[in-house]
Amino acid sequence: MPSLLYLLSVAAVIVPLQSSRQPIMNKYHNLYGNNMSGHDLTNIFGFGIGVLNFLQQGQHFLNQEVPDMVPQFGAMYDFVVIGAGTAGATIAARLSEIHQVEVLLIEAGTKENFLMDIPLLVHMLQLSNDINWKYQTKSSNKYCLGMEGNRCNWPRGKVMGGSSVLNYMIATRGGAEDYDRWAKMGNEGWAYKDVLKYFKKLETIDIPELQSDTTYHGTKGPLHISYPIFHTPMAKAFLDAGKELGYPLLDYNGKNMIGFSYMQSTLINGTRMSSNRAYLHPARNRRNLHVTRESKVKKILIDRHTNRAIGVEFIKHRRIIRVFASKEIILCAGAIGSPQLLMLSGIGPAKHLSELGINVVRDLPVGENLMDHVAFGDLMWTVDEPVSIRINDIINPTYPYMKDFLMRQLGPLTVPGACEALAFIDTKHSTKLHGLPDIELLFIGGGLKGDMILSTVMGLNNRMRQIWSKYTTTYGWTILPMLLKPKSRGWIRLLANDINVKPEIVPNYFDNPEDVKTMINGIKAAISVGQTEAMKLYNSRLINDTLPTCKNYKYDSYDYWECAMRTTSLTIYHYSGTCKMGSKEDPTAVVDPRLKVIGVQGLRVADGSIMPEIISAHTNIPIFMIAEKLADMVKEDWGYLNKSDTGRHAKNNRSIATRYKWCNTLYSMRTLWLFIIIVTTSSAHNFLDIVKNYIHSFGKEEKFTSNSKYDFIIVGAGSSGSVLANRLSENKKWKILLLEAGYMPNFLNRIPIFVGYFQLTDYNWGYNVEPQKNACLGMVNRQCSWPRGRGLGGTSILNYMIHTRGNKLDYDKWASLGNVGWSYTDVLPYFKKSERFNIPGFKNSSYHNENGYLYVEHVPYHTKLATAFLNAGQELGYKIVDYNGQDQKGFSYIQVNIGHGKRCTGATAYLEQINRPNLEIITGARVTKILIDADKRAYGVEYIKDTVWKKVTCSKEVLLSAGTIDSAKLLMLSGIGPKEHLEELNIPVIQDSKVGYSMYEHVGFLGLTFMVNQSESLLQNRLAFNPNVYLEYFLYKRGPITIPGGAEALAFISTKYASDERPDVELLFVSGSLHSDNGQVLKKVLRLSDDLYDTVYKPIEEQDAWSIWPIVQHPRSVGRLTLQSKDPFKPPKMDPNFFSHPADIEIILEGIKHAINISKTKTFQAYGSRLHDLKIPGCKQFEFASDDYWRCAIKHLPSMMNHEIGTVKMGPQTDTYAVVDPQLRVYGIKALRVVDASIMPMIPNGHVNAGIYMIGEKAADMIKESWKSEW
């Protein structure tokens, strides 16, 4: 395709030149010439597949992020870096190469995601409040006159990667003379000869013709620099225009700058490469690199006696945290944030600080010397044909552009904000081709005025928007003349002694008359480009609308252009100079040439603010250079320069990058292959239905109203919370609010095989149990993980979808404990009400219903090993049963919450299907407290969303459905719990109650692996690189991808220890083992120690095997949940006391023996099944397969089934451990119920999620009955 474009471009220019130089007509039907790269339907199909490809890459991208952490108050680090932008990310990565030091990186923003790295859509990012600080300049009558309130918008990145995630990715260094001037100002070590090596160190130049120029370019740096993959014909014409005007085409990052060029950009494989992606992703596994996100620094802590910076105070999750640095604090908050923080910390102009009541530590000219590159944003030419980028075309899925990017990262979406080329010129000496330019002409291959999103980003006022709106359907191109060496200087001042109050920004654009003169010269130079033959070939016409503010001046006069530039003043986001570098004798300097704050020890600044004079180019690459140089200076000052582990880390980083590129290549090839097949089949609409349904599910933004009045507030949108929200909102008179701490899961969450992966994401609360004495011995720190779902659907978005109700005696025992209305006869109607049962052999059973919301089916695909498991059961005398029917004991394929091959969660079943105006859902809302009045009546909740604390009230009831862990936690935080425990934490006691007691969990054994000699098991690599597997799923919703994490069948059996008719062991069959994913997911999910995995499972990677997990059904060991503190953001302490009762181990041991007997059946011997016999470390003293060996092994490798129950136990008033009554009302508190697994008085057989749906259905009817007068 690029070669075709090149030929078309050449033909477009040469042919007319050979004839009559008439404008080109009818040569282009679109940006690809006459080739549309397929038909409309083909492009739509490709777009759909591309979405999946992009989602997959996006999840991979998020997995590369350095994990977030919460520093302990008072924690000590060697270095603390403030700001994870261009400089901060670079410095943190470089310093963490020294394995002896601990580095903390503090970032106010959130994660970078893959969507942010689509180059063309860059300006859309600036609309986000989440990742853009959204500064504005002070209103002025000298510039920004076409903007709302005469204020220019000044974007700044608030995200990992900082402004390198928001910028236009333009890679320019400036000229040698820029840096030589720095050195002449007294900044020793900053001449061009000193900094060139750092420019080379930071980059990998991916432009083939420049790779051999090792004098000026590097090939082994973290940051990839390339030309955009795609160029419009107009970009080629712009370069031809430059040649026509006598300028060379050159590498402006080489020997000379003046000339024309395609734009060198920080891109890799067609996507943005931020500092986060370049420096931090490869360093994510360094144990000495710590990152705390969403942490807003308030001030730098300075010891007044020594004038030494000792620490940092910041806010995270509404908590104030202080951390300390034993060596240095490095401030990298940018040219706005760095001076603001210095001044808030007492470093700045003494008079200014004193006026605000800030104690002065050091009188320095912080905030002075503000510089920026300002451009003129109103020069646009129109053309007649689609030879430029028009956003309406680009996002149209019937065109190939979206498909090409999402599938292969090709096409116009790879062009950063449509910026394609640039020219550096000296307007005062037009024939001069060396030295520093004074103007940059930034070429945009699209019409600036036609992009109404950009007009919002710029903050244009209504009159300007009306003018620009005329060109939304117009093809065109733009040149932005940019002033490179402004003589005008501005300043930054504080408006309050408060980090939450943005500073006053006065850029003073065009304050110096020389700047006006130079900019007008730049405008004239841009107009001359439009008058070249190269541009006339496309019939380019300058839009010459007179600006409303300039109607008193003659168009094209000097006065007109001065008025125009003051109207459409456009920042290029190159703020610099506010913490000026200079010698200690320089009264205008804030930092010295080693970037140490003058007069303050232990504190440096490293970002664009230190530039003594703005360089003649875009500033991002120079900021990378500043950071690289600073890192070496720090290492040198502390004696680490020659001692770092740079080589080792660099090697690892290159290896990671190589693997990443290889995996991406394989994935793209597979996706392309799938695309070719799908577009040629008649079943393609099936795939599109999947994509369409995902896009429309929960497609509307959840309502968010802070002052609404509600009848009921439901806390938690998990299995039971989703049921409640659905059933209560059936009453149109009631207004329901559903609060969920998480967000909507993505499409991949619906694919059953990926179940394990999501436990490694933010959809999981990430809880771990307390270190155990008798269990979890093979896990890291003797802590087993307890995954809990955070998102719409709760844990039903993470679990293995297994649908088991339990035994009828389970519920009869509940009733016998005094829980009236909870016998099996009472609850069976609610089990039936919830389900949409679709298993043909059992469909007509009196135990099932086909009309509920929740899908219950068999997995659409079974391996031969799963069938063998059932056959083996029959061989041993067991029946094949419907374990949710009359008889539970026997063997069966698992019944699962899957509908048409996709996971069915509480949210997809109960919320997605309805659209009721009386139900409001707020996601990202973390409830911190239940509000209870003096009459002990619950009347609302307190929660936090987007760092803002809110309270909301209701008139009837608060319904707590946050799960076994968080319901108990919230009750205690609200003053309902054990009196002595709450008093220890200084929580006012409202109701003394046994919250957190009676905690049970189904626990089993993970370590039974049986090897086979046939290729029948689920091996990750066998699935990942088999296109047929994906084709079968996306077209027909069947195949091995529909198997939930490998779980396929189960058996309920009774051992010799069974005390009644109920089975006491479940045998869960898995058509793989802990090694089947080569340690990539399950090892991390289960927290397996390296020693255990490497000893037992690594030797059998890529070998076929199957497993049985024996699980005790009625554990005797009881645990307890308590609070760590009254801080709602700290997880509770969960001590399940696994195996504190010896009977649990003995029952599992009997289950192991039954499982081994299954492996010895003729059915399994036909597969050569044999017990994997590598001993678990820690159990080597015992004979393998002896009872004592298995007892030891069970303690090392217990299986957590995530079936925690009982912390808010249901019982009669006579039960001293009961927290709620049989109506689920909290004892002693009015208008508060708990509706989730925490209320279960005894754990039922099997898996608990079906029981939670039942509880939700029954609770909804009880609530309706309580308020029947309004029903």
pLDDT at 842: 84
d(CA 1255, CA 1224): 10
As given in the structure block, the two tokens for residue 1076 are 């089947």
Q: Which residue has the higher pLDDT, 659 or 107?
A: 107
Q: Which of 564-578, 640-654, 689-703, 936-950 has the lowest mean pLDDT?
A: 689-703
Pick from 694, 908, 693, 919: nearest CA to 791: 908
Q: Which of 2-16, 323-337, 430-444 has the highest mean pLDDT?
A: 323-337
Asked whether the predicted pLDDT for residue 395 surpasses 90, the reply is no
Encode pLDDT of 299-325 as tens digits. 999 998 899 999 999 999 989 999 999
DSSP state of 997: -
Give the C-alpha distances (Å, rounded to integers) separating 1125 from 502, 964, 986, 1012, 1092: 33, 18, 9, 50, 34
Encode pLDDT of 1020-1063 as tens digits. 888 876 777 877 887 778 889 999 999 999 999 999 999 999 99
**Crossing angle (nearest 10°) for helices 401-408 and 646-678:** 130
As given in the structure block, the two tokens for residue 242 are 């430059």
Asked whether the predicted pLDDT for residue 2 surpasses 50, the reply is no
Residue with tokens 């394929």: 893
* Cα of 1163 vs its chain's centroid, Å: 47
Q: Which of 224, 848, 1203, 1247 is catalytic?
A: 1203
Domains of the chain (ranges, CATH numbers)? 36-64+132-157+230-263+371-576 (3.30.560.10), 66-112+275-334+336-369+577-635 (3.50.50.60), 716-745+791-851+906-998+1206-1270 (3.50.50.60), 860-893+1001-1120+1129-1203 (3.30.560.10)
Encode pLDDT of 556-567 as tens digits. 999 999 999 999
Average pLDDT, the chain: 90
Give the pLDDT mean for 833-852.
90
Q: Do 1008 and 1107 meet the contact criterion of CB atoms below 8 Å apart?
A: yes
d(CA 241, CA 247): 9
Q: Do 749 and 797 meet the contact criterion of CB atoms below 8 Å apart?
A: yes
d(CA 1246, CA 1111): 9
DSSP state of 1167: T
Asked whether the predicted pLDDT for residue 12 surpasses 80, the reply is no
Give residues with Cβ within 8 angstroms of 792, minimum separation 6.
Answer: 698, 717, 722, 740, 742, 743, 744, 745, 905, 907, 911, 921, 923
Pick from 1039, 1029, 1028, 407: nearest CA to 667: 407
Core vs surface per residue 476-488: b (16+ CB within 10 A) or e? bbbbbbbbbbbeb
Q: Do 1070 and 1046 meet the contact criterion of CB atoms below 8 Å apart?
A: yes
Kind and range of the H or E element at 972?
Answer: helix 963-973
Encode pLDDT of 119-171 as tens digits. 998 988 888 889 999 999 999 999 999 999 999 999 999 999 999 999 999 99
User: Dihedral sign, CA of 905, 909, 912, 916?
Assistant: negative
pLDDT band of residue 1271 (cuts 50, 70, 90) is low
Pick from 127, 123, 150: nearest CA to 272: 123
Q: Alpha helices, DSSP H only, in 173-232? A: 176-184, 192-202
* Cα of 1144 vs its chain's centroid, Å: 40
Start-to-end CA distance of the chain, whole Å, equals 65
pLDDT at 650: 37
Q: Do 574 and 614 meet the contact criterion of CB atoms below 8 Å apart?
A: yes
pLDDT at 728: 97
Burial class of residue 94, CB neighbours in 10 A (0-12, 13-18, 19+): buried
Asked whether the predicted pLDDT for residue 90 surpasses 80, the reply is yes
pLDDT at 671: 36
pLDDT band of residue 29 (cuts 50, 70, 90) is low
E strands along 670-773, which residues?
A: 710-715, 736-739, 767-768
Asked whether the predicted pLDDT for residue 706 surpasses 70, the reply is no
d(CA 701, CA 749): 19
Q: What percent of the chain has pLDDT over 90?
A: 78
The C-alpha angle 216, 219, 223, rounded to 5 degrees, equals 100
Asked whether the predicted pLDDT for residue 43 surpasses 80, the reply is no
Q: Which of 257-261, 945-949, 1051-1055 has the lowest mean pLDDT?
A: 945-949
pLDDT band of residue 1220 (cuts 50, 70, 90) is very high
pLDDT band of residue 28 (cuts 50, 70, 90) is low
d(CA 1147, CA 1114): 10
Encode pLDDT of 739-798 as tens digits. 999 998 877 788 898 888 888 888 999 999 999 999 999 999 999 999 999 999 999 999
**Crossing angle (nearest 10°) for helices 1249-1266 and 824-834:** 100
Encode pLDDT of 1096-1109 as tens digits. 999 999 999 999 99
Encode pLDDT of 288-297 as tens digits. 999 999 999 9
Pick from 770, 780, 718: nearest CA to 1084: 780
Pick from 397, 366, 283: nearest CA to 48: 397
pLDDT at 472: 84
- Beta bridge pairs of residue 423: 260, 441
pLDDT at 708: 65
Q: Which residue has the higher pLDDT, 89 or 467?
A: 89
Pick from 130, 110, 106, 133: nearest CA to 331: 106
pLDDT at 676: 34
Q: What percent of the chain has pLDDT over 70?
A: 91
pLDDT at 432: 81
d(CA 506, CA 336): 11
Encode pLDDT of 966-980 as tens digits. 999 999 999 999 999
Q: Is 1203 a catalytic residue?
A: yes
- Hey, how many other C-beta atoms are within 10 angstroms of the C-beta on 180? 15
pLDDT at 1097: 96
DSSP state of 990: S
pLDDT at 454: 84
Asked whether the predicted pLDDT for residue 1123 surpasses 70, the reply is yes
pLDDT band of residue 687 (cuts 50, 70, 90) is very low
Kind and range of the H or E element at 456?
Answer: helix 452-458
Q: Which residue has the higher pLDDT, 1171 or 46?
A: 1171
Give the C-alpha distances (Å, rounded to integers) separating 1128 from 107, 503, 929, 944: 22, 32, 8, 11
Asked whether the predicted pLDDT for residue 23 surpasses 50, the reply is no
Q: Do 675 and 46 meet the contact criterion of CB atoms below 8 Å apart?
A: yes
**Crossing angle (nearest 10°) for helices 513-530 and 558-567:** 100
d(CA 612, CA 556): 35
pLDDT at 663: 36
Greatest C-alpha distance within the chain: 102
DSSP codes joined into one string, 431-445: T--SS--SEEEEEES
As given in the structure block, the two tokens for residue 729 are 């909102």
Confidence (pTM): 0.56
d(CA 269, CA 750): 29
Pick from 846, 830, 829, 850: nearest CA to 838: 850
d(CA 1052, CA 809): 14
- Beta bridge pairs of residue 743: 791
